Structure 1
Amino acid sequence: MHAAAVLALLVLLPLLAAALDADCAPASCGNLSIRYPFWLSGRQPSYCGYPSFGVACDRTGAPPLLNESYLRVLDINYSNSNVVTFHTNLAGDPTGCRGATKFNVSAILALSLLTISRANRELFLCGNCSRRPPAEWLPMNCAGSAGAPWFVYMSHEPGEADQEISSAGCHCTAMPVMPGSELRAPGDYAGLVRRGFLLEWKVPGDCAACDASGGECRFDADKNAFRCLCPDGSRRPATCARGEG
C-alpha cells in the first residue's frame, strides 16, 4: 500500500471510532441514564445495546417504555443487573378488577434475556372461590362472575399460596411486586402495583472488562454476539487487550 494511503488510514481510523462512540454515548431519558446493554430507541443505533433492550422515551414525561411493550421503566441498576418496571395495564386500573386478570409478562420477556427476579414478592388476586378463603385474604371492591367477591393476598415464600388457593377453590392471578412489599389493606394494591417489580438480565460478554481495556460495549447483529469496540475502530470478541483478534 502506498505510504500516503497508509498514513491517511491511520488518521481516519481514530476519527471513525470516535464517530461510533458518539452514536452510543450514554443518554438521558427522564431521570434514567441509558447505556449498554440498553439503548435509546429512535435516537441511537440498535447496536448500542441488545435488540430487546431498547428504551423509548415518552414525550408526556411518563416513564419510558421497554422494548415497545406494556412495561415502563422506573429504575435501572447497572451494578446489580436489574431493572424496576411496572405494567401499564395494571397501574392504570387502581381497583385491580380488570387489569390483574389480563396480566401476562411472559410473552414480552420470552426473547429478551430479562427474567422476573426471584427476589420479588407475589401478589395474588383471586375470585370465584368455591369455599371461603383464609382470613388473611383481604376482600377487594369488585366482583367475579355471579357477583362472587374477589380477594387479594400476598405470599411470603414461592409456592406458599398454592395449598391455600387449592383449598379455597379459587381462580387466581399472580403478579410480582417489589421485594419488601407489605399488604395491610385492600387499598395498598394500587401502590404496590405502581411500585413495580424487579427484572434481572444476563447478557453475553463482560462489558466491565471491555471498558477496563479502553473499549466500549457493542452488539454485533450479524453474528448475534457481544463485541468490544476498540480505539482503533476494531471490534473484538472480549476486550481490547493486545494480541486478541
Structure 2
Amino acid sequence: MNTRLDSGPVLFTITMVLAIVIQFPALRSQETRPYDTCNLPIRCGNVEFGYPFWGLNRPDYCGHPSFQLTCESNDPMLVLDSVPYRILDIESSSYTITVARNDLWSNLCPQFLHNTTYNSTLFNGNFDQENVYLFYGCQDIVPGASGAPVAADYRFTCTVNDTQIDNYFYRPGGFFPDIGNLLVECNNSISVPVNRSSVPLTVSDLRPALRDGFKLQWMVNNNVCDHCVQSNGRCGSNSTSPDGFACFCANGYFSRTCNNTGEIGGGK
C-alpha cells in the first residue's frame, strides 16, 4: 500500500521560508542607523565635508540646518542669506572654509544686488580681509576734481535693457576720497570681502580678487562635536530640535558624548 504525503504543510513551510529570505534584505536595509549614515562624508569635486554640513548623500540629521550643500558641476555650493557661494577650500582642523560669491564669479553684473552678509552666530569672518564696494547705476561723472585721467581704472559697465550703465568700484584708501558723494550719484551699491593680499588696485584686478574668495570660520558645536568624535560618536542634530546637537553612537544617541554618564541613550 502506497502512502501519499499531504502536500499542504510542506508547501506552506516552503512558502514561509521563501518569504523570509526575500524580505530579509529589505528588513536589513531598514536598520541603517544615524551612527552609520553620518559617518559618510559629502564628496563634491575634490573636496569632502562632514558635520555641520549635510546634503546629497548625507541626511539633514547629520548636520546643522544652515549648512546644506549642493554640488553643481563639481563645485560645492552653500547659500547664505539668499546668496550662493562656491566653497573653494575647507580646513576642517580650523573649522574654516574659503568661499567666493557665485553671482560675481563670471561677471560683475549680478541679476540681484545683495550685500555680503552672514549670520555672525554661525560664522566668524574676522580674518585678514577687507571690503571692496561696487556701485551700480552711476551718473556719467568722475568723482573728484582731479580724477579724470584714472577714472577708467575703477569703472566697469553692465548692460540693462540694451543700455550700458556705468558702475564703479571703491577700495579703502583708493582713488575716491568721498564715498558718501559717490553713493548719492549711484543707484545701488554692494560690499564684498576680499583677502587683504588680493585687494584690487584697478578694475582688471577686481575679478581675480573676487574669485580668490575670503575665509569664514564656522562656530557650530565645534567643541562638543570634537568630544563626540573622541568618544567614537558621529555628530548630528536632534530630531526634536534641529538646531540642537546629537551624538550618534553604536548603542543609541546622546546629547554630548557616547555613554554620557547619567544619560540614557536614545533609539538606535
TM value normalised by structure 2: 0.67
Aligned Cα root-mean-square deviation (Å): 3.6
**Which of 206, 209, 233 does residue 192 from structure 1 map onto?**
209
**Which of 34, 42, 61 does residue 49 from structure 2 map onto?**
34
Note the C-alpha offset of 1:45.
1.2
Note the C-alpha offset of 1:89.
1.5
For 1:230 and 1:44, how far apart are their aligned partners in 2?
17
**Which of 24, 29, 35 does residue 21 from structure 1 map onto?**
35
For 1:220 and 1:161, how far apart are their aligned partners in 2?
52
For 2:235 and 2:172, how far apart are their aligned partners in 1?
40
Against the structure 1 CA distance between its residues 235 and 161, is the aligned structure 2 distance closer, same or farther, given a 3 Å change threshold? farther
Against the structure 1 CA distance between its residues 123 and 19, is the aligned structure 2 distance closer, same or farther, given a 3 Å change threshold? same
Instruction: Say whether 1:66 aligns with 2:78.
Output: yes
Residue 247 of structure 2: aligned partner? 228
Matched AA of 1:139: Y
Note the C-alpha offset of 1:88.
1.9
Identity, in percent, stands at 24
Note the C-alpha offset of 1:38.
0.8
Task: Give the secondary-structure state (helix, strand or coil) at the position aligned to 2:197.
Answer: coil
Against the structure 1 CA distance between its residues 221 and 199, is the aligned structure 2 distance closer, same or farther, given a 3 Å change threshold? farther
Note the C-alpha offset of 1:200.
2.7
Against the structure 1 CA distance between its residues 81 and 17, is the aligned structure 2 distance closer, same or farther, given a 3 Å change threshold? farther
What are structure 1's unaligned runs of at least 5 residues?
A: 1-15
Q: Deviations over 1:158-198 (max 9, x none)?
A: xx999730255554421112342221321111111112222
Residue 57 of structure 2: aligned partner? 43
Residue 230 of structure 2: aligned partner? 212
8 Å Cα contact 2:133-2:190 kept in structure 1: yes
Matched AA of 1:34: F
What are structure 2's unaligned runs of at least 5 residues?
A: 1-29, 264-268
Against the structure 1 CA distance between its residues 240 and 70, is the aligned structure 2 distance closer, same or farther, given a 3 Å change threshold? same
Task: Give the secondary-structure state (helix, strand or coil) at the position aligned to 1:175.
Answer: strand
Note the C-alpha offset of 1:21.
3.1
**Structure with bigger gyration radius:** 2
Note the C-alpha offset of 1:17.
8.9
Task: Give the secondary-structure state (helix, strand or coil) at the position aligned to 2:104.
Answer: helix
TM value normalised by structure 1: 0.72
